[in-house]
Amino acid sequence: IFHLFLHTRKKMGLLLLLIICQCAINSIKTHSVSKPNIILLLADDLGIGDLGCYGNRTLRTPNIDKLAEEGVTLTQHIAASPLCTPSRAAFLTGRYPIRSGMAAFSRVGVFLFSASSGGLPSEEITFSKLLKQKGYATALIGKWHLGMNCERSNDFCHHPLSHGFDYFYGLPVTNFRDCKPGQGSVFLKGVQKDLVIPIRITGIALVSLAIVQYIGLLKVPFHALGYFLLIITISLVVLIFFFYHFRHLNCFLMRDHQIIQQPLSYENLTQRLTKEAMQFIERNTDVPFLLVLSYLHVHTALYASEDFKGKSKHGLYGDSVEEMDWSVGQVLDVLEKHNLSDKTFVYFTSDQGAHVEEISSAGEVHGGYNGIYKGGKSTNWEGGIRVPGLLRWPGVVQAGAYIDEPTSNMDIFPTIVKLADAQLPSDRITDGHDLLPLLQRKVTRSKHEFLFHYCNAYLNAVRWHPVNGESVWKVFFFTPNFSPEDSNGCYDSHVCFCHGGFITRHDPPLLFDLSRDPEEKVPLTPETESRFYEILRVVHQAVDNHTRSLHAVPNQLSWDNLLWKPWLQLCCSSLFQSCYCDYESGGSPLQVHLG
């Protein structure tokens, strides 16, 4: 009996120990799943066909491909807009940019100047704000492109630090050709084209006034003519001054609220961004963190460091892609070094498709490859909005899996908000959906029955994936006029536009079934698709429902908000000193002030 008692007590002790261990493991796993570290890697203008994991066989992207091997590849991942500013607004908020006023009714759909007054409104709730409230350390490193100031040059109302980021190191606007000497200009052609007619009209008006004044048909007060000439002269001087100094005024590097390099130097720029990302991770190994690493690659002006220049098979563009891949590898390595890989949710994407019209002045292709898909950046053809979508989280997300359901870059907002144990805002519509059930194979269908594709503020197309069907219908209400006509883009204007003579409207709309025709080659007709009018009826009803959910908001991309305002200009020295400083190589950065 005594031996039986001892044996029983020993078994009970072992059982109790196993229960305690299992509870501890479950507790750790629950904590890990509920509040992982989060790294969001965002490329700029990268084509879905530029990566090995999406079929490229000539560009070397082993580190990005590793994310695919160890995680999930989304094959129908859609950017909420085919342009930088609205796409990034949607990414951060989980909402169509039309809801936040970050979609333009004018021709220009992105911010062009650091001293514009528009930007992501302070009323918008970003995932960084919500995660910061939950104790996450938050950082944005790289490109912002969502505005800076509102009324003063130091109010920073649109700055990343005003949208939930603890730390910012990067560019407030974007990477322009004009930022890098010798790379040409994205403005010169447009400015010349747009100014020719006004200058001619002004000249004809002045000559006509002088003639009628001389022959006595009309008496024009001399001082009125003088004021008119003065206004024209001042306007031309300001315009010439601005574009002559464009690089200094708009291409600069900031750390938090301070300018540390003006103008921006491209020397080892990717290495500097990568180092900042790695140091942020290493500073926060003991707390949950959110890192958004927003690459300048592969937006023009293209650049690459000496270690990568001339090493790829696709010129400077290929060099840039391969350098970005190296950077991704460095970030993954630092996670491994600190045993953080299993505790970190990693996501890689591009803000929109490749900019196919990018050709250098020397004739070298500086735009990427969108694979089989039509069009590119600035269009809602698949080449403009179907982007890479890679998600890795070892032990939680199945390695090597593919998901061919419609997903959106807006889905990251609800996904990581839920992972952080935060609550989605209840006072507004969130258009994204939590991806985790799909990633963990708890469901097989995307919650996106409909996706609405906007060209600036104009509803351009609608995607419909019926709940009980395999087809993915896409309806176009208008399409851009490619130039030349037989090309794959708008080469004459550098980007495609969204209204007027730049588009062709379709009545009835164009209809494609992407499940059978992903290249969007052959529009369906009532003769080739028996459900043609039924599909259009359902889509129009969805549009009506969607439109009723929209509310009027201030337009952040109006001409007034887009224009350069000298009093908002950030300058680390003074305008008369050409806004020059470089504190990257040592010394203490100056506080930003108006020159």
Q: List residues with catalytic annotation.
A: 84, 145
The Cβ-side half-sphere exposure at 420, using a 13 Å CA radius, reads 28
Alpha-carbon Rg for the chain, nearest whole angstrom, is: 27
- For residues 255 and 261, give the distance between their C-alpha atoms in angstroms, rounded to a whole number: 9
Q: Give the three-class secondary structure for 359.
A: strand
Distances (CA, A) of 567 to 120, 475, 506, 570: 20, 45, 45, 9
Q: Please tell me whether residue 195 adopts helix, strand or coil conformation.
A: helix
- CA-CA distance, 351 to 142, in Å (whole number)? 13
Yes or no: say if 36 and 393 are a contact pair by the CB < 8 Å rule: yes
Give dist(CA 428, CA 416) in Å, integer.
18
12 CB-contact burial (10 Å; exposed 0-12 / middle 13-18 / buried 19+) = exposed
In what order do the strands lie in the sheet containing 77-78? 386-387, 77-78, 407-408
What's the burial of 105, exposed, middle or buried (CB within 10 Å: 0-12/13-18/19+)? middle
The values of phi and psi at residue 171, to 5°, are -100, 130
**DSSP secondary structure, 106-148, as one string:** SS--S---TT-S-BS-TTSPPHHHHHHHTT-EEEEEEE--SB-
Pull the structure tokens for residue 392: 């890795």
**Nearest 5 degrees, angle CA 368-CA 373-CA 379?**
75
The structure tokens listed for 171 are: 């560019």
Of 386, 381, 497, 503, the closest CA to residue 109 belongs to 497
Q: Which long-range contacts (CB under 8 A, 24 or more apart) does 264-267 make?
A: 264/171, 264/179, 265/582, 265/584, 266/180, 266/301, 266/303, 267/305
Q: For the residues of 42-105, what is the DSSP string, one character each?
A: EESS--GGGSGGGT-SSS--HHHHHHHHHSEEESSEE-S-SSHHHHHHHHHHSS-HHHHT-S-S
68 class by beta-carbon count within 10 Å (0-12 exposed, 13-18 middle, 19+ buried): buried
